[in-house]
Structure 1
Amino acid sequence: MSVIAPWLAVLLIAAFASYHRYSLAVFAALAGSALVACGLLGAEPTSLAVAAGLLAVVVLPLLITPIRRHLITSPLLGFYTRILPPLSATERTALEAGTVGFEGQLFSGKPDWNLLLSQPKPMLTDEEQAFLDGPVEELCTMVNDWEITHVHADLQPELWDFIKKNKFFGMIIPKEYGGLGFSALANHKVIQKLASVSSVVSSTVGVPNSLGPGELLMHYGTQEQKDYYLPRLADGREVPCFGLTGPWAGSDATSIPDYGVVCKGQWNGANVLGVKLTFDKRYITLAPVASLIGLAFRMYDPDKLLGDQADIGITLALLPRDTPGVEVGRRAMPLNSPFQNGPVRGKEVFIPLSQLIGGEEMAGKGWQMLVECLSIGRSITLPSTASGGSKMGAVVTGAYARIRKQFGLSVGRFEGVEEALSRIAGNAYAISALSEAAAAAVWRGELPAVPSTIAKYHCTEMSRQLVSDAMDVHGGKGIILGPQNYLGRAWQATPISITVEGANIMTRSLMIFGQGAILCHPFVLKEMKAATNPDRAQGLRDFDRLLFGHIGAAISNAVRSLWFGITNAAFGSAPGDAHTKRFYRKLNRYSAALALCADVSMLTLGGKLKFKEKLSGRLGDVLSQLYIICAILKRYEDQGRPVADQPLVAYSVIDAVHKMESALSTALRNFPIRPVGWALWLLVFPFGRRATAPSDRLGRRVAALLMSPNEARDRMADGVFTTPCANNPAGRINSYLTKVVLAEPVERKFLKAMKDSHLSTLDFEAQLDEGMRRGVINAEERRQLEELRVMTIDTIRVDDFEHSELVAASSLKGTGAVVRAA
């Protein structure tokens, strides 16, 4: 038997055990058995003895725990402690604030799909569904977005009254305080539906149900604060806003210059201990109409009135609008999307300690409060807004592309338009799945720090692409503003979602991977805690267990990455049906690749990794696309694996895999330590990149789904306002699709007769008369053609105005009104 047989046997056993993540003891037993078998089969004795000896030298010290800890772990712990980048208190708070759900499995390299598929299907209660079908539907019928955005630059009084009366501002407030007590899922569904008709209405409703006084009071308020403020917030007696962003530090709460100094002052006629605040906030949504202002500031106690600490830290407070010294500035105008927004300022504004959210006990804990609640609001408001607008944009663009004709064909039949329609459909499906996944995580009781960031970034980015494609398909219909235009304001408002709740550039390059690599990793954060454990003995035991678990997982991920790269993930067990098994295998491959690249990046770059924003952004893209695919596949399973949706699932998953492989490829080609990048490339892409974008054939099938009545299209439209009413031109156009499709054969027959029979008139009504006389069409077919004509005219119609109606600020002439910079 060959001299290399023992070595080859050990190597194959090592690869097999690493792939399946068997323990070291199991590997040793399998390797020993393989060597015995080689001996029995006549392997060269010297080679066999050397292989067995080397195996024993490597394995035995690792298997004997006291020896391993003394000889290996203890020195490594000392080295690790020295190189461990220090975590500031704010960084530690941010890392420890969220919970880890299935996204943690994506960093394992071997996801347990049972955990994903066993998650309960998100379901509304009967009461929540009734609210969607009742007050939400009624509010949508009242909305005239042109009146809001162009005529009034605000919600009309009747809309404000309806919103307050029906407790839209109190959706998340518990019933015992007068709110609706709805779940995060219901919040998502409401915002999604409102956003499909007006982003101004959805943001007006979304902000009080996101990060702000209501959310913060529910989690941290004193009982007295809850009893007083929550009922008033629930029924609209108080309109809240929250002041975080400022001119000098943006939304970075850890660096805000706004401050409060502990002192005594007058409050309601009494001399009490409190805080004198100086602050300057801007971009504060609802500030111009708010009666209750939440405020983040840094609290100082130079006279030690509360204790020995002079710098108490970030603190949150409630300021009634009429507090002396509070100045609510003039309104800002966010890109012709006139939701209420503006600055809030104050100089030496005194409030008692009882106005601190949570009272004196929560002074200095504002950063913790913010990061714990931020993931909830970020999971819902902007992803849901993107979902509502995108779903509506997809179905109405599909209808428009079928109804609008050029050169005798529906414009959607042209391949260039078809390509845009396929992107629209794929993005809308992915956005809908991702936004619901993020909301469902909160619905299950999680604090999804990383998924919320992924959802905010990618829902808004995909929505930006979608509205751009929709504008291209609509052409002139999309650029002429007026009551008939349902896209123009969405196009203008898109950068708002990109900017708020963390600018997308920073979110991608710093937050997604930067937070995920530590919080979601199965070992890293635990190793950091073990290394800094004051109990050195316990810390050594924990670090030993974690370190060697980490090493084993890293070796496994290298083996799995190489195997999946060689086989293109064509083999292996996977859940799903015949249509989706291949996608789960792809996820197995790229989960292993992400885990491998994350480990190597952290090992080789250490604390410098946080400054490698391009690398962090690209690895964050890999994590994000993995999570998006999981959301898509979970949605497909929850909906009962509908066959009609399979083209949408395939398109959106294949597109995500293509983006993921592109991001991973770019990360490795530009890895800061070039030899390391080359080695990773060989493990991840042994035969080069193989993922491709969705095919034209698949794109054609997906585009066709948007342009024809079918159940997949109906599911796409589920949850958005498609009721065809006077104020909803998009809903009207969408409602025409079925009748247009039924009338098309009659239209083709009539047009052919016109061409072949040389009808003698050019007037449409006269042509219909002549067609009936000649027996080309009957009375029912004439009715269909007349109705088709009316529907087509309504679909392509745009608005026009008198010149005086368009003169900028014509109503302000002679008033002395000025625009000034804030």
Structure 2
Amino acid sequence: MFEKLMHWMQANNVLPRISDTERQALEAGDVWIDGEFFSGHPDFRRMLDSRYGRLSAEEQAFMDGPVNELLSRADCNEIALSRRVPQDIVDYMAEQGFFGLIIPKAYGGKQFSTLARSAIMAKVTPHSGILSTYVVIPNTLGAAELLVEYGTDDQKEHYLPRLASGEYLPCFGLTEPTAGSDAASITADAEAFRDDKGDVSLRLNFRKRYITLGPVANLISLACVLRDPDNLLGKGEAPGITVVLIHGGTPGLKQGDRHEPIGEAFPNGPLVGENVVVNADNILGGRDMAGSGWRMLMESLAGGRMVSLPASAIGSIRTVSAVTGAYSMVRQQFGLPIGRMEGVATPIGRLNALAYMTEGARVFGCTAVDDGINPPVVSGVMKAYTTELARQCGTDAMDVFSGAGVMQGPNNIIGRGYCSAPVAITVEGANIMTRTLMVFGQGAIRCHPHALNVVHAVENDDAKAFSKGMRGWIGHFFANMGRTLGHGLTRGAFVRVPDVDKATKRYYKKLGWAASRFAFFTDLALFFVGGKLKVRGNLTGRYADALAWMLLGFSTLRRFEAEGRQPADLALVHYSLRLSLAKVQEAFEGIYENFDGPLGKVLRAVSLPLLRINRLARLPDDHMAVASAGVSQRIDAQSRRLNADIFMPENPDSGVGRLFDAFTRVHEVAPLLERVKTAQKDGRLPAGDADALAKAALEAGVLDADEAARVDAARTARLAAIEVDVFDEDEFFARAVSNPSDPRRKAA
């Protein structure tokens, strides 16, 4: 029976077909907690036992010392206007080891953990996106990471110390005009030939674009398609995708032209090569690694997507959360801080909860990578969803800052980040592709307990393996059907939950309920949509949404447990889990509404109304929003703990420094202002802004001289913090493009 079923599935393309490059991508990396949700029966005890890391003493000292010193030295406004990182800043970075965070100590590097590298990137990026590229690129996917993992001994001895010292500044050449998210379609060509000395060399021709640090790098890791017509390398005539090291200044290599990224013009530009010749020993990993480039890229990206872009996005979310809460208490309208208005508090509450949630996901995910787990599906979720959330958070912050957010200049502390948000959404695979193709498309096969084994059996025409796999799959299917019905009727009452804080127990039950439905509907998608999943991007995107928000919700719970069940954090936890579960509910409704065929009609007519009646959760209510907003509107032990490792300049003349100086002063005089307001109600003081009545309050005996001076100073600081930049005519036009019709500007 199973053999006939296998042949029917082969003939009718029931399961997605897997190409060679897709197979390498599927086999790269590891299944992690994503597998628990695809199982439909998550073991929360085992998931909570997964380590939640902390920085070592050495790493924390680097964060508190050199990182803070770097950001104090680097004038973010000057860097943005000049579009250059000053040489003295680059020299300081080299001296302190910023270029060798990933490199082993034996080669002169810091050998920091993934968590530490992520934390450093998260701290640097909100200060200056341009400066951040000098930290991110050398310490993520590129020469150093690939050399550590795959380099020959000679390559490691030569390159790693020079990369650590900053003598080599690397970039990675992957993207082309016709190869973006579909990286396997690169056309950069390398042909092996025997040179005049009788050795094997490579002749490369390529046209890359969007290469970060491309204009300033002097060591390029180039992804190309290697051809070897005479089989000189012993890998056949077409070894395939290969990574080749090219030094700046090599004849035929053209670099230095620039693109102009939106927001902050970080170094980015095309790389063009015409008959660039390098020795075959320049293949990263040596000649034996010819044709292994795709596997290198997939294995590195499996963990790499967990690091740089999520760190940059989450660092921005945390910073925006902190500064928006502070601004809402410094800015006053109608006689009270705008943050006390529910309409303003609502986006601030969302910001604070997302900052808590995503930081938990960052630490949890990076810890997994440090423990040797490289989960490509979770990494894809982290990249796509944190960068999108950062964009949404930027919009929320802009709504609160209002005029102070839209007027550019040194005083604007959110504008450049807001404008730059699309960059992170675009690079390392556009989010729209990651969401609709990779997360569920890869997860449904790789993370499913049985699907990959069955796919392999079908491809290999292995009836015995197919029979074993299908028996397991059928059992899995009916088990999850039963769980889905049972958990739906009891609203997850019988989901097994370990010893957790009683205030959060119900969220585990709902996540377990959601997981059973997700796993059941994953099987329905594989059975009834099958090979068409690749073109059903809207449907797979909704599955991805459900998975992503379950992962983010659980990461929130993991953080809460790891940090000692802080009671003050429950406002953030409640908001985060209500939001997560409501997003999962929304994703399920979208799946029910858009499933094709007769099953889809049944789902829409019968199941969808029941789904909406018996929903997982509704969006957070107004009371939850206000409670969550309060976290960043206070200065106390909780806010200091949550804002740890965010860069807070001590200089009160800088934008962020000035804001927090005012926030601190306003917070400190709040009890004094309550006395002034009481006196106003009693008729002893006139109406108006309480902090404008310091002199009158002194004369009326409401405040003493020291208190009145503090109130007056707080008002002065408050008014200074909400100022926007003003330029005279010469200054204003000096910032403009001097010659917009310059013929030297061209397409690349």
**TM-score in same-fold range (> 0.5):** yes
Q: Give the 3-state SS of the residue equivalent to 2:193 in structure 1.
A: strand
The corresponding residue for 1:640 is: 564
Contact 2:666 2:715 in 1 (8 A): no
Asked if 1:86 is matched to 2:17, the reply is: yes
How far apart are residue 399 of structure 1 and its match?
Answer: 1.1
Contact 1:625 1:657 in 2 (8 A): yes
Instruction: Find 1:139's aligned residue among 70, 80, 93.
Output: 70
The corresponding residue for 1:281 is: 208
The corresponding residue for 1:661 is: 585
The corresponding residue for 1:695 is: 621
Give me the CA root mean square deviation.
2.4
Contact 2:680 2:687 in 1 (8 A): no
Instruction: Find 2:168's aligned residue among 214, 226, 238.
Output: 238
Instruction: Find 1:179's aligned residue among 80, 98, 109.
Output: 109
Asked if 1:75 is matched to 2:4, the reply is: yes
- Listed as ranges, the matches of 1:40-439 within 5 Å are 72-82=1-11, 83=13, 84-150=15-81, 152-265=82-195, 270-307=197-234, 309-439=236-366
How far apart are residue 307 of structure 1 and its match?
Answer: 4.2
- Superposed CA deviations along residues 221-247 of structure 1, whole A, max 9, x for unmatched, are 111111100110011000000110111
Contact 1:218 1:226 in 2 (8 A): yes
How far apart are residue 286 of structure 1 and its match?
Answer: 0.5
Q: 1:129 to 1:765 in 2, by over 3 A?
A: closer
Q: Give the 3-state SS of the residue equivalent to 1:455 in structure 2.
A: helix
Letter in 2 for 1:745: P
Q: Give the 3-state SS of the residue equivalent to 1:344 in structure 2.
A: strand
Q: 1:658 to 1:754 in 2, by over 3 A?
A: closer
How far apart are residue 139 of structure 1 and its match?
Answer: 0.9
How far apart are residue 85 of structure 1 and its match?
Answer: 4.3
Instruction: Find 2:473's aligned residue among 544, 550, 574.
Output: 550
Contact 2:29 2:303 in 1 (8 A): no
- Superposed CA deviations along residues 552-611 of structure 1, whole A, max 9, x for unmatched, are 111111111112222222444312221111100111111111111110111111211111
State the TM-score, normalizing by the size of structure 1.
0.86
How far apart are residue 725 of structure 1 and its match?
Answer: 1.8
Letter in 1 for 2:720: D
How far apart are residue 251 of structure 1 and its match?
Answer: 4.4
Tell me, in whole angstroms, the C-alpha distance in 2 between the residues paired with 1:766 and 1:296.
64
Q: 1:817 to 1:138 in 2, by over 3 A?
A: farther
How far apart are residue 141 of structure 1 and its match?
Answer: 1.1
- Superposed CA deviations along residues 266-304 of structure 1, whole A, max 9, x for unmatched, are 6xxx45311110000111000111010110111112234
The corresponding residue for 2:710 is: 784
Q: 1:572 to 1:335 in 2, by over 3 A?
A: closer
Q: 1:679 to 1:125 in 2, by over 3 A?
A: same
Q: Give the 3-state SS of the residue equivalent to 1:288 in structure 2.
A: coil
Contact 1:329 1:345 in 2 (8 A): no
The corresponding residue for 1:50 is: none
- List runs of 5+ in structure 1 lacking aligned partners: 1-71
Q: 1:765 to 1:196 in 2, by over 3 A?
A: closer
Q: 1:300 to 1:681 in 2, by over 3 A?
A: farther
Tell me, in whole angstroms, the C-alpha distance in 2 between the residues paired with 1:677 and 1:175.
61
Q: Give the 3-state SS of the residue equivalent to 1:262 in structure 2.
A: strand
- Superposed CA deviations along residues 151-176 of structure 1, whole A, max 9, x for unmatched, are x1111112111111111111011111
Tell me, in whole angstroms, the C-alpha distance in 2 between the residues paired with 1:416 and 1:814.
42
Instruction: Find 2:518's aligned residue among 587, 594, 606.
Output: 594
The corresponding residue for 2:529 is: 605
Q: Give the 3-state SS of the residue equivalent to 1:694 in structure 2.
A: coil
- Superposed CA deviations along residues 45-97 of structure 1, whole A, max 9, x for unmatched, are xxxxxxxxxxxxxxxxxxxxxxxxxxx43433443444454321101000001
Bigger drift between 757-766 and 154-163 goes to 757-766
Q: Give the 3-state SS of the residue equivalent to 1:342 in structure 2.
A: strand
How far apart are residue 736 of structure 1 and its match?
Answer: 4.0
Bigger drift between 614-623 and 767-776 goes to 767-776
Letter in 1 for 2:746: R
Q: 1:447 to 1:807 in 2, by over 3 A?
A: same
Bigger drift between 210-219 and 432-441 goes to 432-441
Letter in 2 for 1:547: M
Tell me, in whole angstroms, the C-alpha distance in 1 between the residues paired with 2:691 and 2:540.
64
Q: 1:770 to 1:205 in 2, by over 3 A?
A: same
Contact 1:562 1:683 in 2 (8 A): no
Tell me, in whole angstroms, the C-alpha distance in 1 between the residues paired with 2:379 and 2:42.
20
Tell me, in whole angstroms, the C-alpha distance in 2 between the residues paired with 1:722 and 1:613.
42
- Superposed CA deviations along residues 497-552 of structure 1, whole A, max 9, x for unmatched, are 11111111111111110111111111111222344458x5xx61x43333222111
The corresponding residue for 2:725 is: 799
The corresponding residue for 1:734 is: 660
Letter in 2 for 1:435: R
How far apart are residue 465 of structure 1 and its match?
Answer: 0.9
Tell me, in whole angstroms, the C-alpha distance in 1 between the residues paired with 2:740 and 2:329.
49
Contact 2:115 2:363 in 1 (8 A): yes
How far apart are residue 814 of structure 1 and its match?
Answer: 12
- Superposed CA deviations along residues 605-653 of structure 1, whole A, max 9, x for unmatched, are 1211111100000001111111111111111111011111011011011
- Superposed CA deviations along residues 782-802 of structure 1, whole A, max 9, x for unmatched, are 122122112202321211112
Contact 2:122 2:312 in 1 (8 A): yes
Letter in 1 for 2:708: R
Bigger drift between 808-817 and 354-363 goes to 808-817
Contact 2:652 2:661 in 1 (8 A): no
Tell me, in whole angstroms, the C-alpha distance in 2 between the residues paired with 1:100 and 1:297.
29
Asked if 1:750 is matched to 2:673, the reply is: no
Contact 2:103 2:144 in 1 (8 A): yes
State the TM-score, normalizing by the size of structure 2.
0.95
Letter in 2 for 1:567: T
Tell me, in whole angstroms, the C-alpha distance in 1 between the residues paired with 2:632 and 2:281.
56
How far apart are residue 760 of structure 1 and its match?
Answer: 9.7
Letter in 1 for 2:55: L
Contact 1:668 1:681 in 2 (8 A): no
Contact 1:668 1:678 in 2 (8 A): no
Letter in 2 for 1:776: V
Tell me, in whole angstroms, the C-alpha distance in 1 between the residues paired with 2:44 and 2:605.
27
Bigger drift between 505-514 and 423-432 goes to 423-432
The corresponding residue for 1:44 is: none
Asked if 1:775 is matched to 2:701, the reply is: yes
Q: Give the 3-state SS of the residue equivalent to 1:311 in structure 2.
A: coil
Contact 2:691 2:711 in 1 (8 A): no
Q: Give the 3-state SS of the residue equivalent to 1:379 in structure 2.
A: coil
How far apart are residue 420 of structure 1 and its match?
Answer: 1.3
Q: 1:392 to 1:85 in 2, by over 3 A?
A: closer
- Listed as ranges, the matches of 1:34-45 within 5 Å are none
Contact 1:565 1:685 in 2 (8 A): no
Larger Rg: 1
Tell me, in whole angstroms, the C-alpha distance in 1 between the residues paired with 2:206 and 2:679.
75
Instruction: Find 1:498's aligned residue among 425, 429, 450.
Output: 425
Q: Give the 3-state SS of the residue equivalent to 1:100 in structure 2.
A: coil
Contact 2:663 2:718 in 1 (8 A): no
How many pairs are equivalent?
A: 743
Contact 1:253 1:367 in 2 (8 A): no
Q: Give the 3-state SS of the residue equivalent to 1:289 in structure 2.
A: coil
Q: Give the 3-state SS of the residue equivalent to 1:107 in structure 2.
A: helix
Contact 1:597 1:680 in 2 (8 A): no
